[in-house]
Amino acid sequence: MILVTGGAGFIGGNFVLDWLANPSAEGVVNLDKLTYAGNLATLQSLEKDARHIFVHGDIADCNLVLSLLNKYQIRAIINFAAESHVDRSIHGPADFIQTNVLATFNLLEASRTYWSELAQKNQQNFRFLHVSTDEVYGSLSSTARPFSEKNPYEPNSPYSASKAASDHLVRAWYHTYGLPVLTTNCSNNYGPYHFPEKLIPLVIMNALAGKSLPIYGDGQQIRDWLYVKDHCAAIRRVLENGKTGEVYNVGGWNEKSNLDVVNTICSILDELRPKTDGAPYAAQITYVKDRPGHDRRYAIDARKIEQDLGWRPSESFETGIRKTVQWYLDNQDWTEGVLSGAYRDWLKKQYS
Ligand code: NAD
Ligand code: TYD
């Protein structure tokens, strides 16, 4: 079996669903703390699937992790568990240090204890795949080359600094102890089951609710966007064929300004769900105060994973964003479940 951490979150949830969509796939032990970002509704379709074992717990809990590793004879760990939202890291960095740094350290230690006691063949086959972000490389000027795996780390937010710290720990556990690790650094994901604190789901849901569409600063910040299912495919590829100790940058070759992203969503909604008053959704765009320390541009050079492992994204931004908007229109139950009191409190704190 494999152990997925953070598998009730956005990317981890998509990963578990895609993994188990393959009838011959190994089972999944899914360890998740169910923070505000964890959502069991995402995993509802697996309720009767005996190959999915959900465990409510913290990756910081070494005893729990070690007992799961032993009980299920885990052959690979894919670590998605993290605090993931930059704006929340600005309001409250402590949770980010706790989970992304300290708890990742605990997870590495439990993994090392388990791995060091495995028989030699199982030791060789074991993998610890750490899922990280392109934000660890900092911010690019408009003319700079996209981030390659050789770029220096220059994290600028509490979120990216905590992820950078975890990447360094993972690297050290390989070099010092020989733990067979793999690290992926991916650009911005979007797609189904995305918590609506992030730009794309926030804009879709606010647009449909007739609310304003907040653009930080001038809206000319650039992100590279990757459809989440392409990211899941990249992780599977790295897990099976990646070279231990290596880092793979994962990206969509889709650099877009935030304003372009929001305008694209608005025009798809104009077509699929026109407003009764005939007004365009883009009329709801509102410019708001910029994020402190806002990184201007991220872009990924994903040639290494393509050349070494033969992975390329299958969705363009245009096809992926259309599927995403359609998914939110078709899955109002999921989105309504997310709009809890805690989520409303966050919106008030961030946007009022
Ligand atoms: P998310 O916030 O949607 O989900 C995180 C999940 O981890 C939640 O289910 C939460 O309950 C769980 N979790 C948090 N702390 C935990 C702990 N201590 N123990 C166990 N579970 C815990 O995040 P996401 O967007 O799915 O991101 C997953 C990973 O991918 C993160 O490591 C993130 O840094 C990385 N990443 C995200 C993006 C993106 O665009 N979302 C891009 C690149 C990399
Ligand atoms: P986000 O989805 O939070 O991802 P990240 O900060 O990890 O890149 O934000 C994507 C971009 O959209 C980022 O430049 C910030 C911007 N943004 C807005 O302009 N308005 C918003 O309400 C949000 C949430 C983000």
Which one of the ligands is nearest to 260 CA? 2
**pLDDT tens digits, residue range 82-119?**
999 999 999 999 999 999 999 999 999 999 999 999 99
pLDDT at 340: 81
Residue 105: domain span = 2-194+227-253+294-313
Confidence band, pLDDT 50/70/90 cuts, at residue 217: very high
Residue 25 in any domain: the answer is yes
Ligand 1 contact via 80 beta carbon (within 6 Å): yes
- Ligand 1: atom nearest CA of 81 is 7
Tell how strand 222-227 and strand 188-190 pair up: parallel
Catalytic-labelled residue, pool 32, 58, 114, 159: 159
**What residues does ligand 2 touch, defined as CB less than 6 Å away?**
86, 188, 198-199, 202, 214-216, 221, 223, 258, 291
Residue 204 in any domain: the answer is no
Q: How far apart are CA 56 and CA 247, in angstroms?
A: 29
Contact 226, 188 (CB under 8 A): yes
Ligand 1 contact via 4 beta carbon (within 6 Å): no
- Ligand 2: atom nearest CA of 188 is 8
Percent over 90 (pLDDT), the chain: 95
Catalytic-labelled residue, pool 83, 134, 167, 295: 134
Q: Which residues neighbour 187 within 8 Å (Cβ) at sequence distance 6 or greater?
A: 134, 223, 224, 225, 226, 250, 251, 252, 298, 299, 300
Look up 281 and say whether it is catalytic.
no
Confidence band, pLDDT 50/70/90 cuts, at residue 234: very high
Ligand 1 contact via 38 beta carbon (within 6 Å): yes
**In sequence order, what are the beta bridge partners of 131?**
184
Question: What burial letters (b/e) apply to 21-52, b meaning 16+ CB within 10 Å?
Answer: eeeeeeebbbbbbebbbbbbbbbeebeeeeeb
pLDDT at 149: 98
Q: How far apart are CA 326 and CA 329, in angstroms?
A: 5
Compute the average pLDDT of residues 322-346.
Answer: 91
pLDDT at 339: 84
Q: Is 106 exposed, middle or buried (0-12, 13-18, 19+ CB in 10 A)?
A: middle
CATH number of the domain that residue 138 is part of: 3.40.50.720
176 alpha carbon – ligand 2 mean position (Å): 37
266 alpha carbon – ligand 1 mean position (Å): 27
Which one of the ligands is nearest to 297 CA? 2
Which among 3, 11, 104 is the best mutation to test ligand 1's pocket, defined by most ligand atoms within 8 Å of the CB?
Answer: 11
**pLDDT tens digits, residue range 22-43?**
999 999 999 999 999 999 999 9
5 alpha carbon – ligand 1 mean position (Å): 9
Residue 208 in any domain: the answer is no
pLDDT at 352: 81
Helix axes 258-272, 317-330, angle to 10 degrees: 50
Residue 163 in any domain: the answer is yes
- Ligand 2: atom nearest CA of 219 is 19
HEC string of 242-282 equals: CCCCCEEEECCCCEEEHHHHHHHHHHHHHHHCCCCCCCCHH
Degrees (nearest 5) of the Cα angle 265, 262, 338? 75
Q: How many residues does the chain have?
A: 352
Ligand 1 contact via 34 beta carbon (within 6 Å): yes
**pLDDT tens digits, residue range 37-74?**
999 999 999 999 999 999 999 999 999 999 999 999 99
pLDDT at 48: 95
Residue 67 in any domain: the answer is yes
Ligand 1 contact via 223 beta carbon (within 6 Å): no
**pLDDT tens digits, residue range 179-201?**
999 999 999 999 999 999 999 99
Q: How remote is the C-alpha of 205 from its chain's centroid?
A: 19
Look up 159 and say whether it is catalytic.
yes
pLDDT at 43: 97
Question: Locate tokens 């929340």: which residue?
Answer: 88
pLDDT at 62: 98
341 has pLDDT over 80: no
221 has pLDDT over 90: yes
Look up 177 and say whether it is catalytic.
no
Residue 288 in any domain: the answer is no
Residue 334 in any domain: the answer is no
Which one of the ligands is nearest to 185 CA? 1
As given in the structure block, the two tokens for residue 137 are: 């490389």
Total of domains in the chain:
1
Ligand 1 contact via 33 beta carbon (within 6 Å): yes
Compute the average pLDDT of residues 120-139.
Answer: 98
344 has pLDDT over 90: no
Compute the average pLDDT of residues 134-150.
Answer: 98
Confidence band, pLDDT 50/70/90 cuts, at residue 120: very high
**pLDDT tens digits, residue range 242-277?**
999 999 999 999 999 999 999 999 999 999 999 999
Residue 153 in any domain: the answer is yes
Percent over 70 (pLDDT), the chain: 100
